[in-house]
Chain A
């Protein structure tokens, strides 16, 4: 399963932090706490669900990217996500849109194993479906132990950015030279 290609890198540096939001996140453990560093979270913070076990993560990027694989890590095996549906470029997504979504509506549906989530294995995505991603939406439908709360400690997105001049940070650097 280890499908780390040459040239793939973490795309979290292209996150649009201000637009990140998550439905059903708890007040004390929001999604932003594990993504705000723009790197894979290694600190003590984590994302926890609130009213029930489901979560809907909306992760927009500030430039178009191609995603090859995804890492979802959880330190508590029972609370780790199990059934996950992944969508792309659907900024106005709600739970009612995703609960009944099948393989054709979602970009991909993955059933995670405890091993994947505890080790943080990169999950290979169907690369052809993730060629022009502006925003990534991850719907966590259930967790491994059927618990009331789902916990995610870290998320990483691996792939390649599409070369554009949208990344203003780089633009400034070149002007300085």
Chain B
């Protein structure tokens, strides 16, 4: 949980009108700014965050050292009507540096996060000038993170170098600065950002283990590397969503199992011809059957959920498969039992 004063430099050039990131580049960036602000201020109550723009008429500081989300949102909203011009990274960084220098609490370490969604031009494209600027930042104990998206993603030379990469590497002291490239795609800019090394230090330990947090720095980064979660969502990001997804999954499986069981029992007792499961409800009586089966399942589900809730979700991910197997078997057994009873006496006693 680093004690930090952060200055976010956002891109508000014409390139930000592009819609290759959902809904537009600028909106995606606004979302990311929001996420960074929340993460930084949640990580330590003394942390401050500021926002400035670097395009339009010239770099402009919108918010200095704030802990108030409202100010950030207002600044972004005001900027959304002032999109235009071209970015000027070196000037913007120099201004951010000044803003950071005059922070009230000198204990806070300084950090600049630059969002780049436009191609580099002028001095920013000159590797030597940028490395010189990086050295100056390093000397002033300022860490710099760069988030590249859209046109900000540079073409690398043969040996994999780019201007911003050398810039970040020259600034980094003790691996405190990072470069993040986010290509357009189905994922949100803020989702990629939150699981990146840029925020991992702030997120480590911020989420308790029982909510699916990792408690150690390697967690989010490692999870991001895996990129394949059970339902395509990182359970540690949104435990409730993960829980809801898992519940609906189990429900669907139980329903399928019940249908299968109902159709097989139909085959055994009434018609010898093979009937597809979907056609099973054609018979008049199974409706009551099904209702009872579903009720039974619902009760079982709610018990399951209670069990799930009392247990850390991090573990749940591991033995989810086992659970599902058990559930499936149990559901089939129950369904068969139910349907057998249903055949004998139509009105089953309800618990």
Contacts and interface: CB of A to CB of B under 8 A. Distances in A.
Given A19-B107, A91-B106, A24 B141 contact: yes
Q: Per DSSP, are chain B's interface residues mostly helix, strand or loop, or mixed?
A: loop
A163 to B, nearest CB: 27
Interface string A78-96: 0000000000000110110
B141 A18 contact: no
A30 to B, nearest CB: 10
A51 B135 contact: yes
Interface in A39-53: 50-52
Contacts of B107: 18-19, 21
Interface string A12-24: 0000001101011
Contacts of B101: 92, 94
Contacts, number: 36
A27 B173 contact: yes
B106 A95 contact: no
A52 B106 contact: no
Contacts of A25: 141
A91 B106 CA distance: 8
A51 B139 contact: yes
A54 interface: yes
29 contacts: A19-B106, A19-B107, A21-B107, A21-B141, A23-B139, A23-B140, A23-B141, A24-B138, A24-B139, A24-B140, A24-B141, A25-B141, A27-B173, A50-B138, A50-B173, A51-B135, A51-B138, A51-B139, A51-B173, A52-B139, A54-B139, A58-B106, A91-B106, A92-B101, A92-B102, A94-B101, A94-B140, A95-B136, A95-B140
Interface of A: 18-19, 21, 23-27, 50-52, 54, 58, 91-92, 94-95
Ranked 3 nearest A-B pairs via Cβ? A27-B174, A51-B139, A24-B139
